[in-house]
Amino acid sequence: MSQTPAAPDPLTASASVVNARRQARTRKRTWPAILTLFVLAPLVGEVLSTSTPPLAFINPLTLFWEGALYGSGALLVREIARRRRLGWSNILLMGAAYGILEEAIFIQSWFNPSFPTGLGAYGRYWDTNLVWALELTAFHAVFSITVSILLAEAIFPDRSQISWLGRKECWGFTILLGGVTLLGFVYYGFSASARRGYTHPPAAIFGAISLMTGLFLAGAYARPILPHVSTRPVPSLWRVRVMGFALTLAFFAAVYSLSGLRVAAPVTLGVMAFVLVIAARLSYSWSGRAGWSEQQRLALATGALGYWLLFSLLAIATGLPVVSLLVLGLLIWLARRAAHLPTASEHYEH
């Protein structure tokens, strides 16, 4: 016996329409956040690290090129993390995968012996500069991706936990990142250094691709690593800032002081790894304490960025200290605003 389909509940239907329209309006308002992260990621990864002078960065071609690389990577990593409700540890893993994409595949600084790393043959094994590889993978994971995402979300706190990209935007940034990477791979791998003997990437590049793939899959699919909940109070904001600065200083000091003294490269790698482990364990422990929130995450990022803000004084001629002052002003403003934001309790906030 057939039954007449039940008529739709007008209240439910109306609510669905309103919700759909609200989501559409929200989607339209995400473009400022998208543009901010698209520019902020190369600003942090290239300009503050002194790799690109400020005047060169504001060249429209340079800005688009570096945004297509850094910005696309940061936006896609963030999109995966927020859609899948992942944590900051997942973002760091995917950020490390991005670091390998940029340094080992795009520009191939891991393998090119003529690349101006300042390390020369130091730490070079199996056609790969392992010291440089670890340094830049950690740098991109922390600064180019994680800190950039954290700052962009702090600027737009009401959009911090929602998706920013639709399907078309995801495909667009994926194609943009893939196209730029392919162009860089061909240019830096087969043309730029050919006269200096680097005519193609070595077989070690397949190991880098495998490592990149493993880190990306781990970041995208592993369950968030949640800290053990502790009743201990969170450390003061200044303690968090100082520790972020000190750990960043210790990491880069290990790279350049030990390499300058020509300490055995495995020792340098061990010290670098030790600092990274300390930083990870400390952040993990702190994030489980009662009261850990946007303020503390921002303080940790501020301390780490403080290293680069001071480092910019060595590039006075380029005007970088002016950019650093602007970034410092942004950090102060964000810290004051974060003090008035409610503490987030979602598990993926850690």
Q: What are the residue ranges spanned by the domains of the chain?
A: 30-349
What pLDDT shows up at residue 21? 43
Task: Give the residue among 133, 166, 147, 173 at the shortest CA–CA distance from 330.
Answer: 147
pLDDT at 314: 85
Q: Which residues contact 165 (CB under 8 A, 6 or more apart)?
A: 30, 34, 75, 76, 79, 173
CB-side neighbour CA atoms (13 Å) of 107: 17
Query: What is the distance between the alpha carbons of residues 275 and 266, in angstroms, rounded to a whole number?
Result: 14
CA distance 327 to 100: 27
pTM of the predicted model as reported, rounded to 2 decimal places: 0.87
Q: Print pLDDT tens along the chain (350 aa).
A: 444 444 444 444 444 544 444 454 455 588 999 999 999 999 999 999 989 999 999 999 999 999 999 999 999 999 999 999 999 999 999 999 999 999 999 999 999 988 887 777 888 999 999 999 999 999 999 999 999 999 999 999 989 889 999 999 999 999 999 999 999 999 999 998 888 888 899 999 999 999 999 999 999 999 887 777 777 888 889 999 999 999 999 999 999 899 888 899 999 999 999 999 999 999 988 888 888 888 899 999 999 999 999 998 888 888 899 999 999 999 999 999 988 776 544 444 44
- Tell me how long the chain is: 350
Distance (Å, rounded) from C-alpha 106 to C-alpha 100? 9
pLDDT score of 64: 95
Q: Judging by DSSP bridges, how do beta strands 124-125 and 128-129 pair with one another?
A: antiparallel
pLDDT at 346: 42
Torsion of CA 44, 39, 155, 45, to 10 degrees: -10
For residues 275 and 273, give the distance between their C-alpha atoms in angstroms, rounded to a whole number.
5
Secondary structure of the chain in the HEC alphabet? CCCCCCCCCHHHHHHHHHHHHHHHHHHHCCHHHHHHHHHHHHHHHHHCCCCCCHHHHCCHHHHHHHHHHHHHHHHHHHHHHHHCCCCHHHHHHHHHHHHHHHHHHHCCCCCCCCCCCCCCCCCEECCEEHHHHHHHHHHHHHHHHHHHHHHHHHHCHHHCCCCCCCHHHHHHHHHHHHHHHHHHHHHHHHCCCHHHCCCCCCCHHHHHHHHHHHHHHHHHHCCCCCCCCEEEECCCHHHHHHHHHHHHHHHHHHHHHHHHCCCCHHHHHHHHHHHHHHHHHHHHHHHCEECCCHHHHHHHHHHHHHHHHHHHHHHHHHCHHHHHHHHHHHHHHHHHHHCCCCCCCCHHHC
Two tokens at 98? 């991005």
Collect all residues with Cβ–Cβ distance below 8 Å to 249 and sequence separation of at least 6: 307
35's tokens: 């543009």
b/e per residue 121-147 (b: at least 16 CB within 10 A): ebbbeeebbbbbbbbbbbbbbbbbbbb
Q: Cα separation of 254 and 286, whole Å?
A: 24
Closest alpha carbon to 284 in 197, 218, 208, 225 = 225
349, HSE (Cβ side, Cα atoms, 13 Å):
22
